[in-house]
Structure 1
Amino acid sequence: MLLVVVLAFIVIGLFLLVDLRKPIHFPPGPQWLPIVGNIFVIHKLRSVYGFFHLIWHHFYEKYGPVMGIRIGRTFFVIMSGRDAIRDAYNTDAMNGRPNGFFYRIRTFNKRLGVVFNDGDFWDTQRRFSLKILRQMGMGRANMNEHIEQECTEMVNFFKRKSANGQLIEMQHAFDIPVLNILWTLVAGYRFEYDDERLQNLLKMIHECFRVVDMTGGILNLFPLIRHFFPIRSGYKPLLNAHKPLWSFLQEVVNETKTKHSSERPKSFINSYLEEISNSTHSSFSDEQLLSICLDFFQAGTETTSNTLSFGLMYMIHNRDVCDKVHAELDAVIGKKRFPILQDRNHLPYVEAVLSEILRFSNVAPLGIAHRTTDDTTFREFIIPKDTVVLISLYSLNMDKDYWRDPNVFKPERFLNENGEYISHSEQFLPFGLGKRRCMGEHLAKASLFLYFATFMHAFQMIVPSDIPLPNIQPNDGITLQPKSFVLQLKPRF
């Protein structure tokens, strides 16, 4: 018996010693513990920095642009700085997506959708989705007209809401206007701004994005923990957020199915249902359709809506910038119409302000996580297959050597000496790069410009004297979200 106990201790000891070892030529990083990896180091740093992207930035400053950690059994490599990030985006073996419990729970515990998928399945679904969305008008003149019409609806809604000097909650005020453009493509119709059910669904989406960070959190690393700590692990909040959303999307699909072909609105859902009936490719299914709609529903609102709300915050905190935006809009647009997309080239200061909002807010500080699909040699390092690769866009946006004073909100950094807009395309990558570049980039850019320019042209923002200025510190999560804030809106004409 004693011999068995001794042998057991020896085996356990050897396992723990081996588990301390890093893979050969793995990127530098803190020493990890057996079984749990660096989880305690990250927990300690979270209490210091408050945000996950700041933890990764701390590691960047300490270990360099390519650094590695382990959380649980999963390896993570964080890419920071322009050169490492651009190289990573252009490395084919890093174009995979993580395949863990957190990433599957939102799509019926399967690898579905287009956001967290890869390989031939992803390629087929992405190509088809882009083809249909373009046929529906994405990236074309008629879609820009849809956004311009939606801007008018948005202004009228805010005018009604603010008619008697009422305070308007602005944290998620752009959710439905932003979603409406995409939903016109996806389902063939738009939502009313006072649709309470939809507003509740969107609030759940925002809450879902706050539960975990881009690593998938403790739930992704130790899925069994959901049975012991269903709320604190994030499992129950995720489930509670997705159940009504699944039901809502299923209703939309069922409504389309029950209509005769001649009655169906021209939409992505309609086209996808036809492809399910006609295609022999196994990737087309009802569950995949729901999963893609979920991807569109979430990705189509979260980042654009948050960016616009942050933008209003920054205008309130930087009244000189706000005044210059109003002055340029008045000079170029006048007081008899709202901006259209063709005005963009004549509004360089507005363009510069939007770029600075994207840079300064860091709404998606890590983009979307990547995964190595094979053992990969990257510079002098060897990164094992299935390593999660986090790309710190925050490190680009807050590069002191490049931007000089990155913590200052200064739109002029996007203008040259002649007042012309500069894109800074080598350093400024809010929509990513390479094969996994945001597929809705053109729609997002058009929406950001038109919603921001129209809102700013239409309204003067007032913070009542008895209310403090909005707190620009964001809420952490998969994306950064603005804290709740209210405004009075006064029409400018």
Structure 2
Amino acid sequence: MLYSIISALNVQTVLIGLLVVLVVYKLRQRWKYNMPPGPFCWPLIGSYEVIQAKYLHEIFGKFTQKYGPVFTVSLGPYQTVVLNDINSVTEALVKSKADFANRPSIHSVDVLTEGGKDIAFANYTPTWKLHRKIAGKALRQYLAGNHLEKVLHDSMNKCLPLMAKEKGAFNPENYIDLMVFNILNAVCFGESVELDDPEFVNFMKMDKDATEMVGKGFVEDMFPIMYKIWTTNKYRTVIKMFDEIISLVKRKFQEHDKTFNSDNIRDFTDSLILARKEAEQEENEEMLSQLSDTHLRQTILDIFSAGIDTSRITLYFAVRYMAGLPEIQSKVQEEIDRVVGKDRLPGIKDREKLSYTEATLHEAMRLGTAAPVGVPHSTLCDTKVGGYDVPKDTMVMINHWALHHDPNYWKDVEKFDPTRFLDENGKLGMKPESWLPFSAGRRVCLGETVAKPELHLIFATIMQRFKITLPEGTDPELKLGGSGGVTMPATYEVIITDRIKT
């Protein structure tokens, strides 16, 4: 009994000691650095308001009103500087060169990326820069031909007739999922599937479940000691899902590696293998030796899995907005009918003439930001932003939602208005300064060159084929679903009318 009491007191003493050390450390940082202001945060736990918030972008918006566009908040043990306006974001990501180009060390991310061997989450190192260079070259090689348009048309020709069979109100998510999966599956692996394909059904279930759970974060990352003594069922479930997804990509990559033929480049995986082989003739051998097959697999996973996530959610938003905005939908369809007609599918070359259609998609991406707080950055050195100090190894988050809803840059900010993106001649104008769905600077999204034409052609093809309406009695205003760092429309149903009878 006495031993138990003494042990309990010892544990309590250690915990109190740790809290004191953390408080002193944070106070020393405040004294040493002129850090941005922010709310009170508990040691280890961080901000109670953040823990309780449904969406990170919303609580960050609330803090902005009190502390300004640059503030400090603790997310568990991670002291984080959050940037909420385009001036501070441009200063950090573009003007400060590589100061903000690193990624924070988060255990769960390290596990999911097989030791930080991907491009999206890996640290900013010479190996990463070579990895990114090879991946970028592979994408350019793949996009140089007509591969993307062909896989887009193949997918839409398979999916749209299935969707056209729907009578009455239905949830369009499964069809959007199939369109996006088939396109990215063909881009990465040269393969196509059916709606009831077991691999597709299993992957999408895992992907959606994992996205929801990862979006809410892991308790283990707040209290890293839990990785050593006990992990939650949620964490173990996500790890199991990702192990399956990684195994799938590994198997497909190995099949491509065995059958590779430089005279017959079928997909992005082939282009990536070719780019690595070409790099062997051009790059430093010692540096190349650090790039393993795991790095290449993780590159494919970045394009495949992350591409599916952002694309499907963006299209959920776009279709839902069109269903509730019949006047804008009609303008989109009038433009498509005039430029493309109804006898063929929209193609890559039509994109520059479908300005209103693309502007409508951009507005859906603004109001319905799929990744509202993006991927966190970390500072490589002591630096500054917004007049404040930011110490080395500080996590930095970009509130893309705040950029896209900033009344200083967007008139009638909550109004859906595609003309924001058009010039005086009705053509797609320069990118608005505070529109940043793919981030910027040295960590700009690798898949942007695929995502933009992919999303445009999927959206244009859906609009060409169907008139989309909401069931009678449905509130036309879009409601948000998701949680944490992931947003999407709340589950909805639509009714479609086939505009092209086949």
TM-score bucket of the superposed structures, by smaller chain = 0.7 to 0.9
Aligned position for 1:40: 48
TM normalised by structure 2 equals: 0.85
Q: What is the CA distance between 1:461 and its match in structure 2?
A: 2.1
- Say what the alpha-carbon RMSD is for the aligned residues: 3.1
1:301 alignment partner in structure 2: 308
Cα separation, 1, equivalents of 2:178 and 2:394 = 36
Which range moved further: 218-227 or 323-332? 218-227
Closer, same or farther: CA 246–156 of 1 in aligned 2, 3 Å:
closer
Asked if 1:112 corresponds to 2:123, the answer is no
CA distance in 1, matches of 2:186, 2:368: 28
Report what 1:218 is aligned to.
219
SS at the partner of 1:386?
coil
- Which residue matches 2:64? 60
Query: Structure 1 residue 346: deviation in Å?
Result: 2.4
Mapping 1:230-309, distance limit 5 Å? 230-231=232-233, 234-259=234-259, 266-270=266-270, 275=276, 280=286, 281-309=288-316
Check conservation: 1:159, 1:491, Cα contact below 8 A.
no
| Separation (CA, whole Å) in 1 of partners of 2:431 and 2:270 | 40
1:145 aligns with 2:153: no
Quote how far apart the aligned CAs of 1:261 are: 5.2
- Cα deviation for residue 77 of structure 1 reads 0.5
State, as a whole percentage, how many aligned pairs show the same letter.
Answer: 28
Match of 1:18 in 2: 24
Say whether 1:426 aligns with 2:433: yes
- Give secondary structure in 2 for the equivalent of 1:54: helix
Alignment partners' CA distance in 1, 2:329 and 2:425: 20
1:17-416 superposed matches below 5 A: 17-19=23-25, 21=27, 22-23=29-30, 24-36=33-45, 38-44=46-52, 46=53, 50-90=54-94, 91=96, 92-108=98-114, 110-117=115-122, 118-135=124-141, 137-138=142-143, 140-150=144-154, 153-163=155-165, 165=167, 168-213=170-215, 216-225=217-226, 228=230, 230-231=232-233, 234-259=234-259, 266-270=266-270, 275=276, 280=286, 281-416=288-423
Report the alpha carbon displacement of residue 321 of structure 1 after superposing the two structures with TM.
1.2
> Does structure 2 conserve the Cα–Cα contact (< 8 Å) formed by 1:114 and 1:122?
yes
State the one-letter code of the partner of 2:119.
Answer: V
Is contact 2:356–2:422 with CA below 8 Å preserved after alignment?
Answer: yes
Determine the C-alpha separation between the residues in 2 that align with 1:61 and 1:145: 45
Q: Structure 2: how far apart are the matches of 1:463 and 1:271?
A: 43
| Residue of structure 1 equivalent to 2:3 | none
The letter of the residue matching 1:342 is K
Range with greater deviation from structure 2 (407-416 or 57-66): 407-416
**Does structure 1 retain, via aligned residues, the 8 Å contact 2:265–2:271?**
no
Q: Deviations over 1:93-130 (max 9, x none)?
A: 1011122112112123x121111012112111111111
- Displacement of 1:202 in angstroms is 2.3
Alignment coverage as a number of residue pairs = 477
Query: Distance between the aligned counterparts of 1:58 and 1:180, measured in 2?
Result: 40
Answer whether contact 2:359 2:418 (CA < 8 A) is retained: yes
Alpha-carbon separation, structure 2, partners of 1:262 and 1:85 = 42
- Unaligned stretches of 5+ residues in structure 1: none
Could you tell which deviates more after superposition, 14-23 or 431-440? 14-23
